[in-house]
Amino acid sequence: QAFPPSALPLRRICTSCAVGMGEALSAESRHGSADNISDEPWIELEEARARSSNPAATTLRYHGGAGRGAADHFAEDYEVEGSTLGRGLNGAVLLARGRQDGQKYALKRFNKRAMSAQSLKLLKREVEVYLSVDHPGIARLCDVYECSENLTLVMECCTGGELFERLLEQERCCFSEPDAAAATKQMLQATCYLHSHNIVHRDLKLENWLYESAEADAPLKLIDFGFAKVWQPDMPLMHTCCGSIAYVSPDVLTCNGYTNKCDMWSLGVIVFMLLAGYAPFSGDTRTMKSQIKAGNVDWSGKANWGEVSSSAQDFVKSLLARDPEQRLDANAALWHPWLVRTAPRSPPPPLLRSEVLLSMQQYATASRLHKVALQLVAREMLPGETLELRDIFTGLDTEKRGAISRQDFMAALYRQAERGSEGFWSYLSFWSSAPTSPQGAAQRLLPSPSSAEGDHQKEAVELFRALDANGDGEVYYSDFVAAALASVPRLREQAVRRAFARLDGDGSGTIGEADLQRALGGAPEDGASAGEPPTPAPLEDAGAGELHAPAAPRPCGTDAACCAAGVAAAAPVTGDGGELDYEAFAQMLRDGGLTIGGSTHRRGSLRVPPTSARRSLAGPMMAQM
């Protein structure tokens, strides 16, 4: 195989990204260390909560400030094994294991006092952005531990290695077009999610895409948000010169301001190497900067490119356009003819099978505490345990924003009604009397010309709102999984225990109102007094001398107070107001239709309730939102 001059150093160029070629560029000052950093919590959690798809889940992954010390909390949750998984600009990435589930995790630890002010600024931004994202194509940030000296990040451990490593394993160090297209499509889906939600990564490269597992068809996941920034088109242009030089776009290097199109150039460099087996720019840093600024892409490897289709070459050129205005954005790139024809075809939009729909029904009518519990369990699920739900979620996201819009959701219900499956008709009667034909069902579910919020679809809209954890009009991946968990045959008990431990903020072994205040905050709704306690739910005699709150407690003034009512609903009420231990927590989930470990359903089996009961649930479903 004949390679152009730049091809021979591919191994050296890419391998050295962690220490040489990939050196971080920054036009901002890096003077001094942060000796004057405060002992107070430094991460602004409210910033992350404000952007998060699920503020409660974001809160419960951050450990700092009041309560147990971060170091003690970390030691209770994880054990560091010492193996080095990789190295970044700020040190080694170590292997850790969860003490409750025995699973592998990737760990990065930072000495805050030894870092420059600029590095600290970037790290703070990384954590706040990373805590807010939720997409199956992005490696999960599981926990953050902060004390006055250190900051520790615990992340999902992707065991399949880097995209770079897998590229080197290929004959001629390049992928076949179908394999390159499949990888490109996955990378674009994650990038499209970020850009759709006003996040720019600014350091996309082969080393920052990891395979979930060593399987040949394992999905890719994006890591390292060290240069990520919140940016949207109506904001001033970005000017910081950052990233890894081999992947940096001309508009970043010229320092005249740039947009999220910088990520698209970086993806263009990656796809170039996947297809050709060599880098588009070579030489020392000064030479590469000059080549990149001029847009002088090295297409001289005719023997390499001769086997690549003209459509694939056009795709690469559309990303490596020197003028960012001519560069494709992430959504447009997903619809380029090369990807449409070459990448594995997406299956037809999936049906929401009856088990998933019934699980969503139970989720919609659950108490606030129950919903939060499911949201936490969903984030503890292993990738292999939710493969079907991931495929359904991806299929429902027709707009490719990395989230399900209301239009996507209603279209799925339309398809289900059109097919007229038995499970759907049973579920449909939860909202209203079943129409006489699938077409009639579709008309009930879709907006009518005269009224976009007609009575015939209000319950469907309420169902969507129940899934929309942060109220922004979209359902994100983990919240979709949470709503569909009762369709999963069996949950690992370790996942449930980790979810319980997150809510048990003080480590007492029980969940009380103080824990819920920490998780959810206590800001009253409009019209409620901040100092006024919520009206407690009335108690009912449950027999055997125990009192339980009714299954559907009345809504109250704060999120935390609503959850406190859920605690009372799930556990015997004691003289001090009642707290929830693990067994009561797990039983609450079983009663909601979940099978945990070797357990079986006691009350909440997944079945279609009698018609009268289904209709009576409509009111509580709306009231609980």
Active site residues: 203
Q: How far apart are CA 281 and CA 289, in angstroms?
A: 9
Q: How far apart are CA 80 and CA 74, in angstroms?
A: 10
Backbone φ and ψ for 68, nearest 5 degrees, come out as: -60, 145
In SS3 terms, 131-199 reads as CCCCCCCECCEEEEEECCCEEEEEEECCCCCEHHHHHHHCHHHCCCHHHHHHHHHHHHHHHHHHHHCCE
Of the CA atoms within 13 Å of residue 460, those in its CB half-sphere come to: 29
Q: Are the beta carbons of 534 and 553 closer than 8 angstroms? A: no
307: Cβ contacts below 8 Å, ≥ 6 apart: none
Backbone φ and ψ for 87, nearest 5 degrees, come out as: -135, 145
**Torsion angle of the four alpha carbons 346, 479, 548, 531, in this order, in degrees rounded to the nearest 10:** -160
Q: Are the beta carbons of 101 and 380 closer than 8 angstroms? A: yes
108 appears as a binding residue in the annotation: yes
**Beta-strand relationship, 104-111 and 141-146:** unpaired
Q: H or E segment at 618? A: helix 618-624
Q: H or E segment at 511? A: strand 510-511
Buried b (16+ CB within 10 A) or exposed e, 228-257: bbebeeeeeebebbbbbbbbbbbbbbeeee
- For the chain, the distance separating the N- and C-terminal CA atoms, rounded to the nearest angstrom, is 63
Residue 112 tokens read as 């805050």
Rg (CA), the chain: 26
Tokens 């897998």 -> residue: 166
Q: How far apart are CA 210 and CA 215, in angstroms?
A: 12
Q: Are the beta carbons of 554 and 535 closer than 8 angstroms? A: yes
Q: How far apart are CA 286 and CA 250, in angstroms?
A: 13
Query: How deeply is 583 buried, as exposed, middle or buried, from its count of CB atoms within 10 A (0-12, 13-18, 19+)?
Result: exposed
Q: Are the beta carbons of 168 and 11 closer than 8 angstroms? A: yes
Q: Are the beta carbons of 413 and 428 closer than 8 angstroms? A: no
* Selection from 333, 335, 334, 199 nearest residue 259 by Cα: 199
User: What ranges make up the beta strands (E) of 194-244?
Assistant: 199-200, 209-211, 220-222, 229-230
Known binding residues for ATP are 108
